[in-house]
């Protein structure tokens, strides 16, 4: 017997492509990713055979596009009542949360994979370090996964998708910049140094930049893994608490 | 067997279900009756494992829904209120997904899907997205989903709500056909439905179990039980003659259609006396009927006191 996670995953992923929303999303993602790399990042002007200019903007791209994917994850199930159907099928809460999350992540992965022409371009123009590029893709995907896990938890907290979207953008934004003065200044005046350091170490950008430079450090992988696991765990708790509302 | 003991559910201040206990055996079709907000859906949601009880236990074929939720859920087919389904899927994809989740595969999967599609007449809409279907078809897709794995226990929350009379009839026949060795619990506020499909009825209001009986027993509680209704051209003479009968406690005339109803004195069979009266006095009676009792009246009689009492808890 196949694991329910796989059945759920397939249903969800097929669900994305059953409506034009998926294609619109992928198109916008590709256009923005390319536009940012070429115009803001000065892809050609840099004269370097790498994808640094491309990956630098991914966190900012994800900041708005990932919440757009995640906002409906649970809010929609609750609004349409299908959550009652889903959770009375023989699946555990963990399987349901994981199946939905993995499908959303795979959807983002598909969008990300479709940026391959950029990779072809840079290989055509020069001889880049393809290992570093692969690391960049991995970092980018992990970052998207962490955003999605946050988004899926916050989507479970409300049945209003707009609220889910805004909350997710705000939380992701704060976590992105946790290592920067914008966030740290709010704490450094009064909080003990250990706490400030702790908050700084939560920063998405710090960990993402490390990976996207081509250095895959186990600590960065563990960081993203823990981030995803913790938010998904919270998501399961929130769904359980809020499902009847 | 479903065994429910001392089940309660509290939402903040509101006690939605208040210490309900009952058991259902295979072969029974249990009708859940009650006004809106009585706690019917809440109870069903708890049996199906969607909501956790605040107190009390539910056991489905020996599996406690809290302790062994998966084992219990495998045995249950559940149609939630409003028959929710993922709108972007077609019934074919939807049933395929449910079959996968329920662990049906190979020939069995194909056979079961074909069977429920046939039974619920879904052939025509199999490849149309569910959100574009009419209410009747949506409900039938929901039912198909619930019976797909041929469950021992069927929990159907308002299975015929929003269906036209023909569709209602079909769904009721379906329920009757499946009833033989299954446990079926349906909720409804359509009283004729209880009569049509249920072997037993439970009346709930204000979260409390107020009556647990067969539909016939409930009808017997009606003051109409054993009454005789008749209509005749010469109503005043008929009324006078009926009032003179020894067995008659009271006679009422319906102000709208002029139908006369004679109520018996407790325990006295009225029909033979009335039919003898008609024969002897030669009344030209257009219509004559023995009332078995009126469920709607019993329903009001049982639930109204609770309703008036209000939410005082």
Nearest to A81 among B74, B80, B103 (CB): B80
Phi/psi at A211 (5° precision): -70, -40
Interval A64-75: pLDDT, tens: 999 999 999 999
**B85 lies within 8 A of chain A by CB:** yes
Question: What pLDDT is stored for residue B312 in this prediction?
Answer: 45
Question: Which two three-digit tokens encode residue A37?
Answer: 């790399």
- C-alpha span between B47 and A73 (Å, rounded): 26
Q: What residues of chain A have any CB closer than 8 angstroms to a CB in chain B? A: 1-2, 4, 7-8, 10-11, 14-15, 18-19, 80-82, 84-85, 87-92, 243-244
- C-alpha span between B231 and B229 (Å, rounded): 7
Nearest to A88 among B48, B89, B97 (CB): B48
Between positions 131 and 150 of B, the ones with CB within 8 A of A are 145
Question: What pLDDT is stored for residue B150 in this prediction?
Answer: 94
Partners of residue A86 in chain B, C-beta under 8 Å: none
CB B242 within 8 A of CB B228: no
Q: Quick one: DSSP state of residue B179?
A: G
CA B223 to centroid of chain Cα atoms:
22
Nearest to A7 among B69, B82, B101 (CB): B101
Strand partners, B33: B188, B203
Nearest to A80 among B11, B84, B102 (CB): B84
Q: Is B186 strand, coil or helix?
A: strand
CA distances for B244 relative to B224, B240, B241, B287, angstroms: 19, 6, 5, 20
Identify the top-confidence range among B197-211, B226-240, B256-270. B197-211
Among candidate residues A5, A6, A98, A116, the one with its CA nearest the CA of residue A51: A116
Rg of chain A, C-alpha, whole Å = 19
CB A226 within 8 A of CB A175: no
Higher-scoring residue by pLDDT: A190, B147: B147
Nearest to B85 among A82, A89, A90 (CB): A82
Average pLDDT over residues B211-234: 87
Interval A119-152: pLDDT, tens: 888 888 888 888 888 888 999 999 999 999 999 9
- Angle between helix axes A20-35 and A58-70 (nearest 10 degrees) is 170
Question: Which two three-digit tokens encode residue B251?
Answer: 């006679």
- With an 8 Å Cβ cutoff, are A8 and B101 in contact? yes
Strand partners, B77: B154
Question: What pLDDT is stored for residue B283 in this prediction?
Answer: 84
Q: Which helix (H) or strand (E) holds A22?
A: helix A20-35
Q: Is A147 strand, coil or helix?
A: helix
Nearest to B80 among A85, A91, A92 (CB): A85
- C-alpha span between A214 and B250 (Å, rounded): 95
Question: What pLDDT is stored for residue A69 in this prediction?
Answer: 93
Name the CA dihedral angle for A207, A211, A217, A223, rounded to a multiple of 10 degrees: 30
Closest alpha carbon within chain B to A245: B11
Phi-psi region of B20 (alpha: psi -120 to 50; beta: other; left: phi over 0): beta
- For CA atoms B32, B35, B38, B41, give the dihedral sign: positive
The tokens 């200019």 sit on which residue?
A: A53
Interface confidence, given as ipTM, is 0.88
- With an 8 Å Cβ cutoff, are B100 and A91 in contact? no
Mutate which: B11, B39, B43, B50, vs A, most A CBs within 10 A? B50
pLDDT tens per residue across all 245 residues of chain A? 568 999 999 999 999 998 888 899 999 999 998 888 888 777 777 767 677 778 888 899 999 999 999 999 999 999 999 999 999 999 999 999 999 999 999 999 999 999 998 888 888 888 888 888 888 899 999 999 999 999 999 999 988 999 999 999 999 999 888 877 777 787 777 878 888 888 877 888 888 888 877 788 888 889 999 999 999 999 999 999 988 77
CA A231 to centroid of chain Cα atoms:
12
CA distances for A16 relative to A23, A209, A242, B88, B131, angstroms: 9, 30, 24, 9, 15
Question: What pLDDT is stored for residue B180 in this prediction?
Answer: 86
The tokens 């299975």 sit on which residue?
A: B159
Name the CA dihedral angle for B211, B217, B222, B226, rounded to a multiple of 10 degrees: -170
- With an 8 Å Cβ cutoff, are B73 and A90 in contact? yes
Closest alpha carbon within chain B to A4: B101
- With an 8 Å Cβ cutoff, are A18 and B98 in contact? no
- C-alpha span between A85 and A93 (Å, rounded): 13
Strands B285-290, B228-232: pairing is: antiparallel
Interval B150-171: pLDDT, tens: 999 999 999 988 788 888 898 8
- C-alpha span between A178 and A195 (Å, rounded): 12
Partners of residue B87 in chain A, C-beta under 8 Å: 80
- With an 8 Å Cβ cutoff, are B93 and A7 in contact? no
- C-alpha span between B152 and B161 (Å, rounded): 23
Phi/psi at A44 (5° precision): -80, -40
Question: Which two three-digit tokens encode residue B187?
Answer: 């909720």
CB B58 within 8 A of CB B65: yes
Shortest alpha-carbon distance between residue A16 and chain B (Å)? 9
Strand partners, B60: B2, B63
Sequence-ordered strand ranges (E) for chain A? none
- With an 8 Å Cβ cutoff, are B100 and A7 in contact? yes
Give the percent of chain B with pLDDT over 90.
51
């Amino acid at each position: 017997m196949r694991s329910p996670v796989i059945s759920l995953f397939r249903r969800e992923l097929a669900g994305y492509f059953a409506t034009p929303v998926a294609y619109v999303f992928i198109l916008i993602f590709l256009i923005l990713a390319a536009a940012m790399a070429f115009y803001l990042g000065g892809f050609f002007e840099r004269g370097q055979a790498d994808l640094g200019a491309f990956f630098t903007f991914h966190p900012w791209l994800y900041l708005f596009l990932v919440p757009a994917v995640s906002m409906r994850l649970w809010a929609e199930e609750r609004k349409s009542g299908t959550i009652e159907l889903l959770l009375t099928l023989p699946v555990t809460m963990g399987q349901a949360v994981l199946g939905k999350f993995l499908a959303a992540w795979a959807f983002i992965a598909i969008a990300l994979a479709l940026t391959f022409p950029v990779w072809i371009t840079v290989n055509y123009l020069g001889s880049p370090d393809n290992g570093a590029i692969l690391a960049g893709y991995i970092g980018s995907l992990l970052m998207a996964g962490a955003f999605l896990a946050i988004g899926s938890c916050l989507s479970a907290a409300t049945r209003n998708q707009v609220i889910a979207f805004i909350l997710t953008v705000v939380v992701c934004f704060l976590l992105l910049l946790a290592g920067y003065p914008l966030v740290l200044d709010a704490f450094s005046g009064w909080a003990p140094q250990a706490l400030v350091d702790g908050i700084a170490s939560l920063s998405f950008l710090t960990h993402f930049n490390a990976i996207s430079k081509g250095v895959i450090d186990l600590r960065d992988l563990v960081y993203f893994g823990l981030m995803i696991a913790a938010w998904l765990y919270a998501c399961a708790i929130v769904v359980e608490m809020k499902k009847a509302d | 067997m479903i065994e429910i003991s001392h089940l309660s559910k509290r939402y903040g201040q509101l006690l939605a279900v208040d210490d309900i206990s009952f058991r259902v055996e295979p072969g029974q079709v249990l009708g859940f009756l009650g006004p809106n907000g009585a706690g019917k859906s809440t109870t069903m949601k708890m049996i199906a494992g969607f909501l956790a009880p605040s107190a009390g236990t539910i056991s489905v074929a020996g599996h406690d829904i809290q302790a062994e939720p998966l084992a219990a859920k495998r045995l249950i087919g559940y149609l939630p209120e409003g028959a929710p389904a993922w709108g972007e899927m077609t019934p074919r994809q939807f049933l395929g997904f449910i079959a996968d989740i329920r662990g049906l595969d190979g020939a069995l999967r194909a056979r079961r899907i074909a069977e429920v599609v046939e039974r619920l007449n879904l052939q025509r809409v199999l490849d149309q997205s569910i959100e574009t279907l009419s209410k009747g078809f949506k409900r039938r897709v929901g039912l198909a989903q619930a019976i797909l794995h041929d469950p021992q226990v069927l929990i159907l929350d308002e299975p015929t709500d929003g269906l036209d009379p023909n569709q209602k009839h079909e769904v009721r026949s379906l329920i009757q056909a499946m009833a033989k060795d299954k446990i079926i619990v349906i909720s409804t506020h359509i009283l004729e439905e209880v009569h049509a499909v249920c072997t037993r009825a439970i009346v709930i209001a204000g979260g409390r179990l107020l009556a647990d009986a067969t539909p016939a027993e409930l009808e017997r509680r009606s003051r109409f039980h054993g009454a005789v209704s008749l209509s005749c051209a010469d109503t005043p003479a008929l009324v006078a003659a009926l009032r003179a009968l020894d067995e008659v406690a009271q006679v009422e005339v319906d102000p709208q259609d002029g139908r006369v109803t004679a109520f018996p004195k407790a325990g006295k069979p009225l029909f033979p006396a009335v039919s003898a009266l008609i024969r002897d006095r030669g009344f030209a009676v257009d219509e004559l009927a023995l009332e078995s009792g009126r469920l709607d009246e019993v329903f009001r009689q049982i639930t109204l006191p609770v309703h008036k009492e209000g939410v005082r808890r």
